[in-house]
Each structure stands twice: as C-alpha cells, then as structure tokens.
Amino acid sequence: MQENILSNDKKGEIKVSNEVISVISGMAVNEIEGVASLAEDPDSTVYSKKMLSRGISVSVKNDEMTVLMNIVVKNGYNINEVAREVQLKVKSTLENMLGFRIKTVNVVVAGVDFSEANE
C-alpha cells in the first residue's frame, strides 16, 4: 500500500494511503447524478458504486497529485458535462479533505449505461 506524506514536521509525519484517496474520490463521484458507476479500466466489466476505489488510480510526483478515474455515464447525459463535473468535484473534495495540491483529475469514459433503470 503506497502512502503519501501530507505533512512532515517536528511533530511527526501525517501519511494517507492511495486507497484512502481513491475511496474519497469515489465518494465524490458517487454524488454526481450522471455517473452510472466506476469501471476498473476502460476494457473491463462495470462495477457498482459500492466499490468506491475501483477504476481510480493515484500518483504523486514532486508534491503534486494526479488522479485517473474510469467512469460509466448514464444514458441521456452529456458526457463532456458529466466528465467535467467529475473533475471539478474530485479535485475540490480532495483538496479540501487532504489539504494537498491536486495537479490533474483525468477522466476516462469507459462506457455508457443503457439499462432501463436509467430511462
């Protein structure tokens, strides 16, 4: 489990794992109406919203964090608008909760959910 140092001073270190960052990101995405689910990768099976860290990867380089998310958009929603909302929501949520600069949130739309439940 990779950990990222949020602070390191005389009082000690504060670390947070990539899995925690992924779960926080997944919770933020779960609040966006046009997202049907997260997908582990663009070529994989769709996973439910309950699996909050699936399809999310985190990397840190030079004190800047990059998040990559694979999502499935509900039928009838504007893909560009949903993806942009995901970027903004995840970035603001992580920055508020972690106090860490988020360089980018990259979103891959892995599919569109055409199930009858979304119509």
Render pLDDT for 53-82 as a digit per residue (tens, 0 to 9): 678 989 888 778 899 999 999 999 999 999
Whether residue 45 has pLDDT greater than 50: no
pLDDT of residue 6: 66
Rounded to whole angstroms, how far apart are CA atoms 86 and 73? 11
Rounded to whole angstroms, how far apart are CA atoms 12 and 22? 24
Any idea what DSSP says for residue 51?
S
pLDDT of residue 9: 72
Largest CA distance in the chain: 57
Domain architecture of the chain: domains with CATH: 3-118 (3.30.70.1350)
**Structure confidence at residue 15 as a pLDDT band (50, 70, 90):** confident
pLDDT of residue 46: 46
Any idea what DSSP says for residue 85?
H
Average pLDDT, whole number, for the chain? Answer: 83
Distances (CA, A) of 104 to 34, 46, 87: 21, 24, 8
pTM here is 0.81
